[in-house]
Amino acid sequence: MVKKNMAEEIPLRPLGKQDIHKLETALLIATLLRPDVIEEIRKAEERLTWVDSLAVAAAALARSKAGYTVTMIADELGRSEGTIRNHLTGKTKAGKLIQETYQRFLREGVKIEIPEIVAKITPEEAYKKEVEKLKKEIEKLHSAKAALENKVKNLEEKVRSLEAEKSNLEAEISKYRQKIEEIKRILASI
């Protein structure tokens, strides 16, 4: 994980609109980048609704920490007081996740942990990774090809050996048939 410490930039007790916006954004981003939340979003049928709930919960908590009342928050965000209350008390999954992120901020400072998969996604690096993966696959295929060619060579040698044995046996059978014919002629002449 790549960590970015933003504690000096983002107040956990915002004093004005700009501070509220900073805290709201940090809460939302840090929560969205949690591996468990990424997995939830990936599985969620209504992703936008789920992400919107996280955004509302982050906005509500940031305003609450600035001293806004539930009514003020509801009016500003255009949501019902019940929805805001549910997010602030952690009764919603989104509210609970945002609360957990805030508690982590209190303990550790504001650190946004960017998962490696997100931190390293540049087209160049993605292509390099894909090229390396393909090179390894090609190496495996070359090894498998060499093993199969060796097997074919051994089988071809065995076929030649069996064909030679077959020719020898056919020659012997031919000799025995000749002897049998000779014996038949001798017996017929007696």
3-state helix, strand, coil in the chain (%, to 5): 75, 5, 20
Please tell me whether the overall predicted TM-score, pTM, comes out greater than 0.85 for this model: no
List residues bridging with 148 in a β-sheet.
none
Q: Can you give the pLDDT at residue 112?
A: 76
- Token pair listed for 78: 């255009």
Show Cβ contacts of residue 71 under 8 Å, excluding neighbours closer than 6 positions: 81
Task: Kindly state whether residues 50 and 139 are assigned to the same domain.
Answer: no
Task: Kindly state whether residues 190 and 144 are assigned to the same domain.
Answer: yes
pLDDT digits (tens, 9 = 90+) for 14-61: 888 988 899 998 999 888 888 888 877 777 677 778 788 999 999 999
Band the pLDDT of 84: cuts 50, 70, 90.
Answer: very high
Task: Kindly state whether residues 26 and 112 are assigned to the same domain.
Answer: yes
Strand, helix or coil at 10?
Answer: coil
The C-alpha R_g of the chain, in whole angstroms, comes to 39
Task: Give the total number of structural domains in the chain.
Answer: 2
Band the pLDDT of 145: cuts 50, 70, 90.
Answer: very high
Task: Kindly state whether residues 116 and 131 are assigned to the same domain.
Answer: no
Judged against a pLDDT cut of 50, whether residue 7 lies above it is answered with no
Task: Kindly state whether residues 89 and 157 are assigned to the same domain.
Answer: no
By percentage, how much of the chain surpasses pLDDT 90? 51
Task: Kindly state whether residues 167 and 78 are assigned to the same domain.
Answer: no
Q: How far apart (Å, rounded) are the C-alpha atoms in residues 145 and 91?
A: 59
Task: Kindly state whether residues 43 and 65 are assigned to the same domain.
Answer: yes
Task: Kindly state whether residues 85 and 169 are assigned to the same domain.
Answer: no
Q: Can you give the pLDDT at residue 118?
A: 54
Task: Kindly state whether residues 116 and 130 are assigned to the same domain.
Answer: no
Name the DSSP letter for residue 122: -
Band the pLDDT of 8: cuts 50, 70, 90.
Answer: very low
By residue count, the chain amounts to 190
Task: Kindly state whether residues 98 and 25 are assigned to the same domain.
Answer: yes
Domain that holds residue 108: 2-121
Q: Can you give the pLDDT at residue 169?
A: 93
Residue ranges of E strands in 10-134:
111-114
The one-letter amino acid code at 16 reads G
Q: Domain boundary residue among 98, 121, 144? A: 121
Task: Kindly state whether residues 61 and 132 are assigned to the same domain.
Answer: no
Residue ranges of E strands in the chain:
2-5, 111-114
Judged against a pLDDT cut of 80, whether residue 71 lies above it is answered with yes
Task: Kindly state whether residues 106 and 142 are assigned to the same domain.
Answer: no
Q: Can you give the pLDDT at residue 74?
A: 94
Alpha carbon distance, N-terminus to C-terminus of the chain: 103
Name the DSSP letter for residue 160: H
**Per-residue pLDDT averaged across 149-156, rounded?**
94
- Token pair listed for 103: 């508690």
Q: Domain boundary residue among 121, 140, 160? A: 121
Show Cβ contacts of residue 58 under 8 Å, excluding neighbours closer than 6 positions: 24, 25, 27, 28, 31, 98
Q: Domain boundary residue among 121, 140, 161? A: 121
Please report, for residues 2, 65, 101, 137, the alpha-carbon distance to residue 117 in angstroms, rounded to integers and kept in the order given.
10, 32, 20, 22
pLDDT digits (tens, 9 = 90+) for 111-128: 776 665 555 566 777 778
Q: Angle at Cα 46 formed by Cα 103 and Cα 26, nearest 5°? A: 30
> Do residues 29 and 3 make contact, with C-beta atoms less than 8 angstroms apart?
no
Highest mean pLDDT among 12-21, 26-35, 101-110, 171-180: 171-180
